[in-house]
Amino acid sequence: MSVETITTISPVTNKPILTRNGLSDADITSIPETAARAFEAYRRTTLSDRQAIVKKALKLLDERQDALGKELTEQMGRPISYTPKEITTAVARGEYMLKISEEALKATEGEAEKGFKRYIKKVPVGPVLILFPWNYPYLTLVNSLIPALLAGNSVILKPSPQTPTSAEQIKQIFADAGLPEGVLQIFHSGSITQIEAIARSPQIQLVCFTGSVANGLAIQTAASDRVPIRVGLELGGKDPAYVRSDVDIKWAAEEIVDGAVFNSGQSCCSVERVYVDEKIHDEFVSALQDVLKGYKLGDPMEKDTHVGPVVSSRSADSIRAHIKEALKKGAKDATPDNESFKSPPADGNYVAPTLLINVDHSMAVMTEETFGPVIPVMKVKNDAEAIKLMNDSQFGLTASIWTKDTNKGHELVEDVEAGTVFVNRCDYPAPDLAWVGWKDSGKGQTLSRFGFDQFVKLKSYHVKDYPK
């Protein structure tokens, strides 16, 4: 069988910018076997040795942030003013996981019993396959890579074809940091069949996947006939925000626009639907319009650009289809006049930030993941209606409530069906809190001390003193 050629298309120009070779049949067998051999040696290293390697790698990653940020802008289109920040945030996240690793991975003592040493040890699971996306490749990768390596596992990385150099850069950084050969491997593939074949390999003990629900289900199915293998899934979101009538309207509007439009709305935890108390609806929409007037859509290489292109022409078509369907069903386009929204660069996949009102749950823009810079706003009568609508979704990644009455906000989020709930904040995975999806948003968890759990298995020890 011929080896696949994988081409990266620039979202800025819609022209090819990179090519990579896919897997051969031999690779599908040899990569997991190499990971298994490397694991046998690496699992015997000390945690302090692994910590030293990770610490050095994070330092090197931080030092290379400008070059890596420029690559991200070229490959996935986020404005150059923001891409280096992904690297620094990834480093900070990794440093937190490094800081807590000794406590997170320590053994648990059993009940004291004379003549016995009894404890539960956390041991690495074995070779780990990490499949990570293009929208935040470094951030999503460190969620799994850092605890996997600190726990003593070997790792195989598969990046998105849109951002292939992210895996290559990480592999080189860890090699420069002293990670033994074979412990971290990468491969490129655009074939779900090949990825499923790697996941089915008997050597693979855990698959961590971040991406669409459909592909997550395919990976889970591929691994379902093997008892030992675990699958962690971080999938889609349709994250709601509820704005109560007591809120500081101007401030909340600024925060929600940022939460909805940053990275062109291409985040699993971006704000995708907004419910506003009917008493302040019109004033809040006006405030959103004022914020959007200050945004610039344009060339991501220009430092004053806020919003670049979306990742592909297919993605742009899908976003526009959501907007068109909503308008056809009675929604109104309330996007303010903004010259940059009307005249973006000609060749790229530019979708202007779009503010929609008069929306409801008969529209895809309120129920299906849009993954674009669209802000649909719906009136609600009260808290109860807002919570009911927030929960009316197949997804449950994050949700936010905006109010001056933080005690009431705290009370209301108790009834919100999501893995992470915010009061007066949004779009922020905190490294000390577990990142977990409910419903179709996924299973398993990353970040916090619980983020180490899927990378270890428990081994109980009963050691009895030899009778004298």
Bridge pairing between strands 128-131 and 206-210:
parallel
Yes or no: say if 451 and 435 are a contact pair by the CB < 8 Å rule. Answer: yes
Q: 71, 74, 86, 234: which one is catalytic? A: 234
For CA atoms 350, 355, 360, 366, the dihedral sign is positive
Residue 305 tokens read as 């650009």
Alpha-carbon gap, residue 104 to 455, rounded angstroms: 11
- What is each CA distance from 186 to 34, 118, 137, 203, 204, in whole angstroms? 11, 39, 14, 16, 14
Yes or no: say if 199 and 228 are a contact pair by the CB < 8 Å rule. Answer: no
| Cβ atoms < 10 Å from Cβ of 106 | 12
Amino acid 173 reads I
Alpha-carbon gap, residue 27 to 71, rounded angstroms: 27
Residue 105 tokens read as 């991975």
Residue 134 tokens read as 């293009």
234 catalytic residue (yes or no): yes
Alpha-carbon gap, residue 212 to 256, rounded angstroms: 24
Helix or strand or coil: residue 242?
Answer: strand
Bridge pairing between strands 184-186 and 16-21:
unpaired
Residue 396 tokens read as 């449950």
Alpha-carbon gap, residue 310 to 12, rounded angstroms: 9
Yes or no: say if 108 and 213 are a contact pair by the CB < 8 Å rule. Answer: no
Yes or no: say if 331 and 358 are a contact pair by the CB < 8 Å rule. Answer: yes
Amino acid 381 reads K
Yes or no: say if 309 and 278 are a contact pair by the CB < 8 Å rule. Answer: no
- What is each CA distance from 98 to 53, 65, 94, 206, 254, in whole angstroms? 10, 19, 6, 21, 34
Report the catalytic residues.
234
